[in-house]
Amino acid sequence: MMKHREDIAARALDALETEERRRFDAEADEATLAELADMQQTAAALADAVAVAPPADLRARIFEQVAATEQLTAEETTPVLAAVESDDTVDAETLDDREPALVGGGSTVAGPRELAARRRWFQRPGSLLGAAAAAVVLLVGGIGIGQAIRTPDPVSALVHAADVRTQTASLADGSRATLMWSDEQGEAAFVFQGLSQLEAEQVYQAWFMPADGDPIPAGTFAGGDGSVVHALDGTLEEGDGVAITVEPEGGSEQPTTQPLLVMLT
């Protein structure tokens, strides 16, 4: 039987554990191997892609927009992830030493002093964006997803776009986020590995962050142990930033928490 395409994508990304990889290879049929080969061929094309440098002034504008939005109280939201790091993996302890970031997954809720410190740090664009503007790391493998989020599948279209670009960032809980986007298609999608589950009645929400306007909602999604894919709802304009926040179930019209992740396209 053909494997789920998210499993094939994870194998192409070399994101499976040793035992999972052995089981995948042992059980893969011809159709699965053919699709795996196609994804790996796409990876070779991505390896020649060129990183896109974001406009310098976009960074400050993104954080001005989000910082100006009223924040939830400690009782209303539980931080679960830290800010993204640049090229190398940064663990939670390192982030704690550097700045009072959203580090965590712990059960204790931050007190008023900690929240105030986080807010002050968050309002300093240079501090976070040294980490949040993650270096462009090209995906070692193509991505295909069996769960069609829209029709036609925007992730498949992105993989084959002539101008596809990717950024990959590590989060403090060990999960990884890859943003794929195409300026020509105006499409973008996140692919997460090991994204933490949230509290009940909370969701992750994606946002387009235009340089000259307010954040635009781009759909909600849940965490999960395996691959989590979210194709952003709406049109990505060239130069937009993209952010992820934690919001109440159903999503919000504007961000109500500090961003867990900001990437600049």
Render pLDDT for 178-189 as a digit per residue (tens, 0 to 9): 888 888 888 889
Cα separation, 208 vs 235, in Å, equals 9
Range of the domain at 63: 1-265
Q: How far apart, in Å, are the Cα atoms of 250 and each of 121, 202, 203, 257?
A: 28, 8, 7, 15
Structure tokens at 53: 């440098």
Render pLDDT for 73-113 as a digit per residue (tens, 0 to 9): 544 444 344 333 333 333 333 333 333 223 223 333 444 44
If one counts the domains in the chain, the total is 1
Q: What is residue 170's predicted lDDT score, i.e. its pLDDT?
A: 78
Cα separation, 233 vs 241, in Å, equals 14
Question: Which range among 182-186, 199-203, 250-254 shows the weakest confidence by mean pLDDT?
Answer: 182-186
Compute the mean pLDDT over every residue in the chain, rounded to the nearest whole number: 65
Q: How far apart, in Å, are the Cα atoms of 171 and each of 50, 76, 87, 185?
A: 24, 22, 12, 28
CB proximity list for 129: less than 8 A, separation 6 or greater: 59, 63, 262
Q: What percent of the chain has pLDDT over 70?
A: 52
Q: What is residue 110's predicted lDDT score, i.e. its pLDDT?
A: 42
State in Å, rounded, how far the first CA of the chain is from the last one.
38
3-state secondary structure of 121: helix
Cα separation, 85 vs 99, in Å, equals 12
Q: What is the pTM of this model?
A: 0.49
Mean of pLDDT values over 134-161? 46
The residue type at 146: G
Cα separation, 200 vs 121, in Å, equals 28
Q: What is residue 255's predicted lDDT score, i.e. its pLDDT?
A: 92
